[in-house]
Amino acid sequence: MSVTSAGHLPSAKAKVLSPIAMLIFGSRWLQLPLYVGLIIAQGVYVVLFLKELWHLFAHAFDFSEQQIMLAVLGLIDVVMISNLLVMVIVGGYETFVSRLNLQGHPDEPEWLSHVNASVLKIKLAMAIIGISSIHLLRTFIEAGGLASGKTGYTETGVMWQTLIHGVFILSAIGIAMVDKLSNASIEGAREGAREGARQHAAN
């Protein structure tokens, strides 16, 4: 019996797809340019991060404590968006396009071993909440000047940003609850099938 280059035995019979099925299944590769585009966008964020970091370094002795804090929050915001991009690029490609075969690689992300569409949605929702939290914190810091009129924010703008952040949190909770109920339903169906098989075997 022949052995593949990876050292595993080939499957007994490879499934042959019809031309239509091959076309539909192969259409997933149309997403490849999208992920390449996201990689380019991440490169732009690296340039933006270095630009903001240099701006902070150049004005380290001129900025007030609040200005330094806002600059640092801006850097954290760029990093979190970059993390979101990595999650979408790696997790999305692994889930919807093709396997990356990173099993055993020392740098394999811990979350990638059990990633699927549901897990990816929850992680993206949490990442968006984190990014929104950073923006909201920056707003609250700058909103201290509302009474003096030295800020570009308004009370209505701050209120709407807070409400939108709350909607993000509620959406993440809803996604997690739906995913939990869906997994419980699937597990219940599997358990029922196993119980039926045991009863059938017993009879």
The confidence score (pLDDT) of residue 150 equals 62
The confidence score (pLDDT) of residue 17 equals 74
> pLDDT in tens for each of the 203 residues of the chain?
444 444 444 444 557 778 888 888 889 899 999 999 999 999 999 999 999 999 999 988 888 888 888 889 889 989 989 988 988 898 888 888 888 877 777 877 776 766 677 777 787 888 888 888 888 888 887 776 665 566 667 778 888 888 998 998 998 888 888 877 877 776 667 777 777 777 767 76
Q: Please tell me the pTM assigned to this model.
A: 0.68
Number of CB atoms found within 10 A of residue 152's CB? 8
The confidence score (pLDDT) of residue 37 equals 96
Q: How far apart (Å, rounded) are the C-alpha atoms in residues 201 and 203?
A: 5
The confidence score (pLDDT) of residue 126 equals 85
CB 139 within 8 A of CB 153: yes
The confidence score (pLDDT) of residue 40 equals 96
3-state secondary structure labels for all residues of the chain: CCCCCCCCCCCCCCCCCCHHHHHHHHHHHHHHHHHHHHHHHHHHHHHHHHHHHHHHHHCCCCCCHHHHHHHHHHHHHHHHHHHHHHHHHHHHHHHHCCCCCCCCCCCCCHHHHHCCHHHHHHHHHHHHHHHHHHHHHHHHHHHHHCCCCCCCCCHHHHHHHHHHHHHHHHHHHHHHHHHHHHHHHHHHHHHHHHHHHHHHHHC
CB 100 within 8 A of CB 94: yes
